[in-house]
Amino acid sequence: MDRPLFARVLARSALARAWEDVLANDAEDGELTKAIRSFAEDADVRLDRLADELQNGEFSPGDLLELQIPKADGGHRTLHIPTVADRIVERALLRGLNPIVDPHLGARSYGYRPGLGVVDVVQAVAMLRDEGLCWAARADVHDCFPSIDVSRVPGLLGAFVEDARLLGLVDDLLARCRIGVGGRRAFAGLPQGSPLSPLFANLVLTSLDDAVLRAGHPLVRYADDFVILTTSREAASAALLVARRALKELEMTLGDDKTEVMSFDDGFCFVGEDFGSRYPPALTDHRVQEAESGNVVYVGRQGSRVRIKAGRLLVDSTDKAILLDLPQSQIARVVCFGSIAFSAGARDWALGTDTQVVFLSRRGSYAGQLLAGGGKKRIARLRAQLGVTDDRALHLGRRVLEGKLVKQAVLLRHFIREDNADEVSRGIRMIDAMVPILLTAASPEELMGVEGAAARSYFEALRALVPVGLGFVERNRQPPLDVVNAALSYGYAVLQGECVSALAATGLDPSIGLLHTDSRNQPGLALDLMEEFRPTIVDQVVVQLFRSGALTAAHGTTIAGKKGVLLTKAALRSWGCSGAVRG
């Protein structure tokens, strides 16, 4: 059985990692503070003692040290610094809480979040501008951290964390006093200087994000600074009223000195970047990196032949033309769709180098894979996989589908606009309401029933995100009846192939699922694994391609005498896969 969250997050090893973070952070300016130097002298002993105090319920947070930091404009910035032990505990909590809380922080919050930063803010604003939202309401939250009502934090955190001991520790950290000029006093708000404060601030401000998004106004927020993008000055002014009302409910206010409505033609500055009507450019690949392990080759040209010659992988067409020519050392995986010939030499190379080869039907249904003989590790993992109890499978299934529903709601929030706000907001509300029901499901059948109800609401809302005239009414497959469903099915097929290969590479059997049965010749575990990734890896790409015009109704085609819609070759080129090569 899994250890309680408190025990895992605040284990001795976790505290050691947190101490390394605290030490590295303090050393950034080139000189360690006296408190850090003192702790470092016998760090192992102190960490042992701290771990014992936490696990035995004897830990008590210290007071916050108030410091006044001069600013260039003659003013000062007030920081409240926790003790070294408190900072270690907070860093350990942050490491443990971030993976749990961050997925719920929304699609438009970028500050103090793992993997996100100013570059993502800039690109988000630029993409919304290029979409035609040419007016901006620029604002910030006045005196944000000190004005946050910390009594809201435990309730918000408790929606995701059930560990009473951990929540009790958070309560104790939020109740610390401060020591500064005037002596020891109670402290209100979140302390600037506390490692946990940014996470808690983001958690509280999600209600601001949601209120603005529900009104149909895309918002981009970095910590307490934000900009709302609209189609007109009037809409921007209306969006600010929504923001004011949302903050009033939090007993917070806008900073009047930074609140104004501007157009991209006039230009404005946000997060240190100057925005104009054409600058900075929107770069869809600003975060894309080439896969270190090599290329994934997708072979979809019917009748093609994959072969190996002189250390290179070749894909030939039916008329012997070479469609692809790559060094075999650069190939990480091969995925074949439909009628693709795979030579004996290519087979021996794949098995000898443990290169995964996955075979799918032309429409993307899983057919099988090449798999080299397994060793002891694979056998041990297979035994563990087969030994999963029904209760454990149900628990894992709940978490997988929770992740899927949360990401579906994030995607809908990402694309909400004035013209689709009613329908999309309704879908978000339905999905959000399904999450707690999902987490109490008592059987796999009940779990999948709740997921199915959420999926219906999701695709009804997704319909409002793509242009009209595409024939997209609902999700359908086998075969897809319109070009949007064809694009979704293609994307899911590619994702399924990746999941099959990833599972095989780790020594697990893709066909033995936890939620999806293995009675239909489908890779059940791969279908389980891909659930959480469908919205972000496939759905978001499909919506963006249709909204941008990269895909249109003309990119769908039919075959005489057969039902359903397939994507054209031009559509497949537009679809593209980062780090993949198509044959």
Per-residue pLDDT of 406-449, as tens digits, reads: 999 999 999 999 889 999 999 999 999 999 998 888 888 899 89
Which of 313, 343, 374 lies at the terminal end of a domain, its last residue? 374
Q: What is the mean pLDDT of the chain?
A: 86
Q: Which two tokens stand for residue 573?
A: 């080129």
Question: Do 412 and 283 sit in the same domain of this protein?
Answer: no
- Domain containing 499 equals 379-577
In this predicted model, which residue has the larger pLDDT, 381 or 537?
A: 537
pLDDT of 363 > 80? The answer is no
Q: Which two tokens stand for residue 160?
A: 């995701």
Name the band, by pLDDT with cuts 50, 70 and 90, for residue 2. low
How many structural domains compose the chain? 4
In a domain, 159, yes or no: no
In a domain, 582, yes or no: no
Question: Do 428 and 529 sit in the same domain of this protein?
Answer: yes
So what's the pLDDT on residue 326?
83
The long-range contacts involving 413-416, CB below 8 angstroms and separated by at least 24 positions, are: 413/106, 413/107, 413/108, 413/209, 413/210, 413/213, 414/107, 414/108, 414/540, 415/465, 415/543, 415/547, 416/213, 416/214, 416/216, 416/218
In a domain, 418, yes or no: yes
Question: Do 215 and 261 sit in the same domain of this protein?
Answer: yes
pTM above 0.85, yes or no: no
Give me the mean pLDDT over the 37-66 stretch.
Answer: 92
So what's the pLDDT on residue 375?
52
So what's the pLDDT on residue 576?
59
Question: Do 253 and 338 sit in the same domain of this protein?
Answer: no
Per-residue pLDDT of 89-108, as tens digits, reads: 999 999 999 888 988 887 78
Query: Taking a C-beta distance cutoff of 8 angstroms, is the pair 277, 264 a contact?
Result: yes
Which of 253, 270, 287 lies at the terminal end of a domain, its last residue? 287
Give the helix/strand (H/E) hosting 67.
Answer: strand 64-70
pLDDT of 374 > 60? The answer is no
In a domain, 558, yes or no: yes
Tell me the CATH number at 503: 1.20.120.920
Question: Do 115 and 99 sit in the same domain of this protein?
Answer: no
Which of 234, 267, 287 lies at the terminal end of a domain, its last residue? 287
So what's the pLDDT on residue 520?
64
So what's the pLDDT on residue 83?
93
Task: Report the alpha-carbon distance of residue 94 to residue 300 in Å, rounded.
Answer: 45
Give me the mean pLDDT over the 381-399 stretch.
Answer: 84
Using alpha carbons only, what angle is made at residue 165 by residues 160 and 168, rounded to the nearest 5 degrees? Answer: 85
In a domain, 356, yes or no: yes
Query: Taking a C-beta distance cutoff of 8 angstroms, is the pair 483, 474 a contact?
Result: no
In this predicted model, which residue has the larger pLDDT, 576 or 463?
A: 463
Nearest of 140, 391, 160 to residue 252 by alpha carbon: 140
The rounded percent of the chain whose pLDDT value lies above 90 is 46
In a domain, 160, yes or no: no
Residue with tokens 């409002």: 464
Name the band, by pLDDT with cuts 50, 70 and 90, for residue 581. very low
Question: Do 173 and 249 sit in the same domain of this protein?
Answer: no
Give me the mean pLDDT over the 58-80 stretch.
Answer: 83
pLDDT of 577 > 60? The answer is no
Question: Do 384 and 523 sit in the same domain of this protein?
Answer: yes
Per-residue pLDDT of 200-254, as tens digits, reads: 999 999 999 999 999 999 999 999 999 999 999 999 999 999 999 999 999 999 9
Question: Do 272 and 417 sit in the same domain of this protein?
Answer: no
In a domain, 202, yes or no: yes
Question: Do 396 and 411 sit in the same domain of this protein?
Answer: yes
Tell me the CATH number at 128: 3.30.70.270
- Spatial neighbors of 373 by CB under 8 A, at least 6 apart, are none
Name the band, by pLDDT with cuts 50, 70 and 90, for residue 360. confident
- Count of CB atoms within 10 A of residue 480's CB? 23
What is the C-alpha radius of gyration for the chain, rounded to an integer number of angstroms? 27
Question: Do 533 and 431 sit in the same domain of this protein?
Answer: yes
pLDDT of 284 > 70? The answer is no
pLDDT of 343 > 80? The answer is yes
Torsion, Cα of 282, 283, 284, 286 (10° steps) = -140
In a domain, 158, yes or no: no
Task: Report the alpha-carbon distance of residue 532 to residue 405 in Å, rounded.
Answer: 8
Name the band, by pLDDT with cuts 50, 70 and 90, for residue 368. confident
So what's the pLDDT on residue 205?
95
Tell me the CATH number at 346: 3.100.10.20
Q: Which two tokens stand for residue 224?
A: 């307490």
Question: Do 354 and 477 sit in the same domain of this protein?
Answer: no
So what's the pLDDT on residue 519?
54
Name the band, by pLDDT with cuts 50, 70 and 90, for residue 1. very low
Question: Do 254 and 366 sit in the same domain of this protein?
Answer: no
Name the band, by pLDDT with cuts 50, 70 and 90, for residue 549. confident
